[in-house]
Amino acid sequence: MQTGLNALYTIGSNYSIRLNEKELLVYEDDTTGESKKSQQTQKNDEREKAKEKSKTSSQSELSQDEERLLKELQSRDSQVRAHEAAHKSGGASTGAASYTYQKGPDGRMYAIGGEVSVSMKSGSTPQETISNAQAVIASAMAPANPSPQDYAVASSARVMMMKAQQQARKELQDEMSGKEIYKNEVDKNSNEMSKKEDASIKGSSGVDIPA
């Protein structure tokens, strides 16, 4: 079989042979496949480095306004979480705290508002209602800096407590009044019985009438 000069034959995947000008076989490493793999790996590494660099750059190269906003958001997040934790310690809270978030210039979410549900209900007795109201007031006013909403909730609980206290006083007065009425009735009946007994004694001790 005759071949022309510089004809190329592939042997496996890593080597090839060719005929040189003197028609002598020359073995050469065929690094085309390995080179492609190496180049692809290098590109992937460069892409990952670019992503990391971009991420780091976006966090470290914030403008002064963005840095100021970030600090404010971080401070606000801490305050909000501490505020809601204080509400939960009051005793009248129900369920977990819920938060409102804002995305910061660093891509993270920060809590800028929150709320905790409280149970403000009347009890089966005035004393139970008073106890419930006191727990609500404690929960509402637990934070170091109560919000206007906290004051409003505490105010509503105080109104409920005052009404329950009035009811408790009325029940006590009625109870005392009932006892007084009962005592007066007992005294009145005792006096009437005493008068009847006196009259009966006097009637039986009159002057004897001769037969």
DSSP letters spanning 12-39? TTTEEEEE-TT--EEEEE--HHHHHHHH
Q: How far apart are CA 82 and CA 88, in angstroms?
A: 10
- Res 40: pLDDT: 72
Alpha helices in the chain (DSSP H): 32-60, 64-88, 126-140, 148-204
Which has the higher per-residue pLDDT, 144 or 17?
144
Whole-Å CA distances, 62 to 55, 59, 69, 102, 104: 12, 6, 10, 17, 11
User: Kindly report the CA angle at 138 between 160 and 81, in degrees rounded to 5?
Assistant: 125
Which has the higher per-residue pLDDT, 130 or 190?
130
Q: Which one of 44, 60, 76 terminates a domain?
A: 60
Average pLDDT over residues 161-177: 90
Q: Which one of 118, 142, 164 terminates a domain?
A: 118
Beta strands 8-11 and 93-103, pairing class: unpaired
pTM of this structure: 0.54
* 124 and 192 both lie in a single domain: yes
Q: Helices 126-140 and 64-88, interaxial angle, to 10°?
A: 160
- Res 189: pLDDT: 66
- How far from chain centre, in Å, is Cα 57? 34
Mean pLDDT, rounded, of the chain:
76
Establish if 203 belongs to a structural domain: no
Establish if 3 belongs to a structural domain: no
Most confidently modeled range among 43-52, 73-82, 89-98: 73-82
Tens of pLDDT, residue by residue over 174-205, are: 888 777 676 667 666 666 666 666 555 555 55
Tens of pLDDT, residue by residue over 65-74, are: 999 999 999 9
Among all chains, which residue has been given the structure tokens 């009438």?
A: 209
pLDDT of 82 > 80? The answer is yes
Give me the domain span that covers residue 188. 120-197
- Res 115: pLDDT: 92
Name the region of 19 (left: φ>0; alpha: ψ -120 to 50; beta: rest).
beta
Which has the higher per-residue pLDDT, 181 or 121?
121
Confidence of residue 131 (pLDDT cuts 50, 70, 90): very high
* 111 and 154 both lie in a single domain: no
Establish if 205 belongs to a structural domain: no
* 132 and 192 both lie in a single domain: yes
Work out the number of other CB atoms within 10 angstroms of the CB of residue 105.
16
